[in-house]
């Protein structure tokens, strides 16, 4: 059996129990879009499969909508693994310690807590420095 990969054509039949509103929507979009129909339907299909795959793998994940008006450079930056790790770290702090402000100069998990309750979630020094320079280095304009 061949592997599925980006750019590969996939063909399938709609099941006989497909709701009429789905068939009507697909037919309408096909008439309007013509040959561009697959480029509109493919992301919807991939998103649905991605959600199903994550459910079966028991991956804890949330989706956060990006603000409108971001440049492609900003979107690329947000999609980098280090940026995702930084956002995960910030989210972790907000969820686990909502009443405590962000202090990037302290260890999040103390030495004693690590011994009694080992956690794979640790602060990366590079991300810590980046966050401090990026988010905490601002000038107070209220003067």
Q: Is residue 11 part of a domain?
A: yes
Give the separation between CA 108 and CA 122, rounded to whole angstroms. Answer: 7
| C-alpha Rg value of the chain to the nearest Å | 23
Whether residues 53 and 76 fall in one domain: no
Domain of 36, in residue numbers: 7-61
Whether residues 42 and 95 fall in one domain: no
- The pLDDT tens digits along the chain (143 residues) read 788 888 888 888 999 999 999 999 999 999 999 989 988 898 888 888 888 887 777 667 777 888 899 898 988 888 888 888 888 888 888 888 877 776 655 554 444 455 555 555 555 677 667 666 666 655 555 54
Q: Which tokens in the block code for residue 141? A: 């304009």
Q: Is residue 48 part of a domain?
A: yes
Q: Would you give the end-to-end CA distance of the chain in angstroms? A: 68
Evaluate if pTM is beyond 0.75.
no
Q: Taking CA 86 as the corner, what is the angle to CA 80 and CA 88, rounded to the nearest 5 degrees?
A: 100
Q: Is residue 14 part of a domain?
A: yes
Q: Which residue has the tokens 């493919």?
A: 42
Q: Which of 61, 81, 100 is the last residue of a domain?
A: 61
Task: Tell me the C-alpha to C-alpha distance, in Å, between residue 132 and each of 10, 27, 38, 47.
Answer: 46, 52, 44, 34
Q: What is the pLDDT of residue 107?
A: 52
Q: Is residue 1 part of a domain?
A: no
3-state secondary structure labels for all residues of 69-109: CCCHHHHHHHCCHHHHHHHHHHHHHHHHCCCCCCCCCCCCC
Q: Is residue 67 part of a domain?
A: no
For the chain, the domain total comes to: 2
Whether residues 14 and 51 fall in one domain: yes
Of 80, 133, 84, 76, the residue nearest 104 (C-alpha): 133
Whether residues 53 and 13 fall in one domain: yes
Whether residues 56 and 110 fall in one domain: no
Whether residues 114 and 94 fall in one domain: yes
Q: What is the pLDDT of residue 47?
A: 85
Whether residues 56 and 21 fall in one domain: yes
Q: Is residue 140 part of a domain?
A: no
Whether residues 15 and 57 fall in one domain: yes
Q: Which of 39, 61, 83 is the last residue of a domain?
A: 61
Whether residues 81 and 130 fall in one domain: yes
């Amino acid at each position: 059996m061949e592997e599925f990969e980006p750019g590969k054509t996939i063909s399938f039949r709609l099941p006989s129990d497909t709701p009429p509103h789905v068939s009507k929507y697909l037919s309408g979009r096909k008439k309007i879009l013509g040959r561009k129909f697959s480029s509109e339907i493919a992301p919807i299909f991939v998103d649905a499969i991605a959600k199903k795959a994550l459910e079966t793998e028991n991956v804890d994940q949330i989706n956060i909508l990006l603000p409108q008006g971001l440049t492609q450079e900003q979107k690329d930056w947000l999609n980098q693994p280090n940026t995702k790790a930084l956002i995960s770290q910030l989210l972790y702090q907000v969820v686990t310690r909502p009443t405590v402000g962000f202090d990037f100069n302290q260890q999040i998990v103390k030495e004693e807590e690590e011994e009694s309750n080992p956690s794979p979630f640790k602060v990366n020094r590079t991300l810590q420095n980046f966050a401090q320079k990026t988010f905490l280095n601002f000038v107070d304009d209220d003067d």
